[in-house]
A and B are shown apart, each in its own frame.
Chain A
Amino acid sequence: MHIVVVTKATPDTGAKITVENGVPTWKEAMVINPWDEYSVTEAVVLKEEHKAKVTIMAVGPAEHDDALKQGLAIGCDEAIRVWDEALVGHDSLQYARALAAAIKKLGDVTLVIFGKEFADSGSNQHIYQTARLLGFQVLGSVSKLISLDFGAGTIKVERSVEQGKQTVSSKLPAVLGVLKDITEPRYPSFIGIRKAAKAQIPVWGLSDLGIEAGTPKATILSYSEPPKREGEVEFIEGESPREIAEKLAEKLLEEKVL
């Protein structure tokens, strides 16, 4: 019973991000991708319930080691970072190919867990791409794990979609994309942090995985800041809540947004 949970480091969600000399820039620290606080915790909860092994993985340069170490501090057993200079400027398909090859190399993985999406790119396609490349079932937008039986090779989950909640059962191996509802996040203990700080994280290159980097088929051409909204507020005042409400309602009817 071997679970892989996938993470990356992203800027703190409170970071003020600007575009300087054409690239996104911020002062705040990198943190574990906020959605992964839930997926990593869920992996550790499942490890405890099922006596499974959890490997936390990231694809990327050394800046992702802190996210991996946070995973170790929370209770993941091992961390592996996949990286190769040939992957600089990779697109999501190249990412997924490298990740899928690394998961295959582990050999005995039957469950892979991702957080909902990457908070930096705002994309979740890597979840579905990785699943298809592995030939695993994919269950995205999972809000609840109803049952998991490694022995029987089955899993049942609740998925949150736009119109409600769907219950789906599947055979393992499977890839899950999990939402915040899945669990309450755990934070590292002092002892966990100390132990993780000493961990040497192995780095697997493309030659270790026996694959080529390929070339990106999707490229970011430029970055920009969204148009500013500041400075346009009109305060509505009045003698009574009723008067304020009437003035505001008039304004909104004029805006034709109702």
Chain B
Amino acid sequence: MKIFVWTEHFDNKLAQASKEAIGAAKSLGDQVTALVFGQNVDAIVQEAFHFGADAVIKADDATLADFRAEPYIALVAQIARDHQPDAILAGATTRGREVLGGVSADLDAALLDDVLSLSIEDGKLTATRAMYAGKVLTKEQLSGEGVQLATLRSRAFKALDADTSRSGEVISVEPVLSEDEIATKSEGFEGTVGEISLTEAAIIVSGGRGVGGPEGFEPIRELAKVLGGAVGASRATVDAGWIPYEHQVGQTGKVVSPDLYIAAGISGAIQHQAGMRNSKVIVAINKDAEAPIFKLARYGVVGDLFEIVPALTEVFKEKLGK
């Protein structure tokens, strides 16, 4: 099977979701080609090889410097027409879902969106997906006609270990659209420096109504910092304006699956559970021993988060040597 992977990068580094998608493609196909778009992307091309790509199709052009859906979709579709891969994969990031969603219409090719697992059965791409924010799992399959598309949920697939001795053939292609033909302009980017994105985080410390107010997130942030994790929040705290929406975990927030999820002062409404129930190890800290969150948790502490969370921060500072 000939598989293409649309990759993305940020700050001159290949995105983790793209590394995972290349890893998944390697386990499914015999020939994996990474698509690398941008400006001055040679370092990214090398990284794509290190993480498993056998070949790279590179488009290095000023019109591709910042992500824009229109030129990116048009180019992936054109490359697919020219090179006829069996499948195209991408990380199910904001951009990955936009690109393959658009390509799906351009090529009249079906897409399995945000999949949790992927296999090939009789040449047909077959996936596990989550419906109702993970309350139900589905097995879904494409018909196998033409190019088959899938976006892969972050952290659901394993990236290969980097092998810096690997390299391969690089094919350079030109963009499809010139700047005059592109109707969108990227006018600026404001990065969230130092903050780990929730969907990519291996560790998440979340606060709920029990934090009591905006300042109640301070001990949550300190613990997250010591653990190198991201800060999550329940819907109630976001709706109350205690913390920005980007932090919301749950059915109308982000669906996450870290190795460790620490829920402090979160009762565990069904909508919140839907967003975090696939975490590997869940720790619940809550005053109310009857809180539903304890039913999901591996470890529970019945107590005051304002005592337990700072104590945990202290202990981890010592144990992790920070």
Contact = CB atoms under 8 A, between A and B. Distances in A.
Contacts of B110: 91-93, 216-218
Contacts of B209: none
B321 to A, nearest CB: 12
Given A19-B136, A96-B105, A218 B131 contact: no
Contacts of A180: 245, 248, 252
Given A162-B93, A218-B140, A244-B303, A230 B295 contact: yes
B301 interface: yes
B280 to A, nearest CB: 6
A16 B111 CA distance: 28
A122 interface: yes
B183 A249 contact: no
Given A119-B251, A120-B132, A163-B197, A233 B295 contact: yes
A221 B70 CA distance: 33
A128 B97 contact: yes
B270 interface: yes
A96 B104 CA distance: 11
A13 B252 contact: yes
A122 B197 CA distance: 19
Contacts of B132: 11, 15, 17, 24, 119-120, 122
Given A218-B142, A224-B136, A258 B10 contact: no
Contacts of B95: 161
Among A15, A143, A179, A257, max chain B CB count under 10 A is at A257
B259 A220 contact: no
A242 B301 CA distance: 12
Contacts of B304: 241
A179 to B, nearest CB: 7
Contacts of A237: 302
Nearest to B144: A217
A225 B136 contact: yes
Nearest to B313: A245
B266 to A, nearest CB: 14
Given A160-B246, A162-B200, A223 B137 contact: yes
Interface string B54-91: 00000000000011111001000000000000000000
Given A17-B135, A179-B245, A124 B108 contact: no
Contacts of A242: 311, 314-315
Given A128-B101, A166-B189, A244-B303, A217 B143 contact: yes
B316 A249 contact: yes
Interface string B92-106: 011101101110111
B308 interface: yes
Interface residues of A, number: 87
B259 to A, nearest CB: 4
B114 interface: yes
A235 B191 contact: no
A205 to B, nearest CB: 22
Contacts of B169: none
B191 A252 contact: no
B131 A252 contact: no
A257 B278 contact: no
A125 B97 contact: yes
Contacts of B108: 93
A129 B102 contact: yes
Contacts of B131: 24, 120-122, 223
B306 to A, nearest CB: 9
B281 A234 contact: no
Contacts of B133: 13, 119, 122
Among A129, A156, A222, max chain B CB count under 10 A is at A129
Nearest to B128: A224
Contacts of B183: 137, 170-171
B186 interface: yes
A92 B100 CA distance: 13
Contacts of B252: 13, 34-35, 119, 180
B155 interface: no
Nearest to A136: B183
A252 B66 contact: no
Interface in B212-265: 227, 245-246, 248, 251-252, 255, 259-260
5 contacts: A119-B133, A122-B113, A125-B111, A137-B184, A221-B139
Given A24-B131, A139-B69, 5 more contacts: A138-B70, A223-B131, A233-B294, A236-B301, A258-B227
List the 10 closest pairs (A to B, CB-CB), nearest first: A128-B101, A217-B110, A245-B311, A132-B105, A164-B191, A241-B311, A125-B101, A129-B105, A241-B307, A257-B259
